[in-house]
Amino acid sequence: MRWTHELQAPFSFGTGVQSAQFVQDALTVGNGKTGVVFVDVYAISGTGVLEIQTCSDVKTTVSGLSSWIGVGSATVGAIGTYRFAISELGDAIRWALTTAPTSITFGVRVYLSDKT
* pLDDT computed for residue 85 by the predictor: 96
What CATH number labels 2-114?
A: 2.60.120.260
Mean per-residue pLDDT, 15-40: 84
The model's pTM:
0.87
Report the pLDDT value the prediction gives residue 80, as an integer from 0 to 100. Answer: 98
CA–CA dist 41, 98 (Å, integer): 16
Q: How many CB atoms lie within 10 A of CB 39?
A: 22
What are the boundaries of each domain within the chain? 2-114
pLDDT single digits (tens) 50-95: 999 998 877 655 555 557 899 999 999 999 999 999 998 988 999 9
pLDDT tens digits, residue range 10-27? 988 886 565 888 888 888
* Burial class for 23, CB neighbours closer than 10 Å (0-12, 13-18, 19+): middle
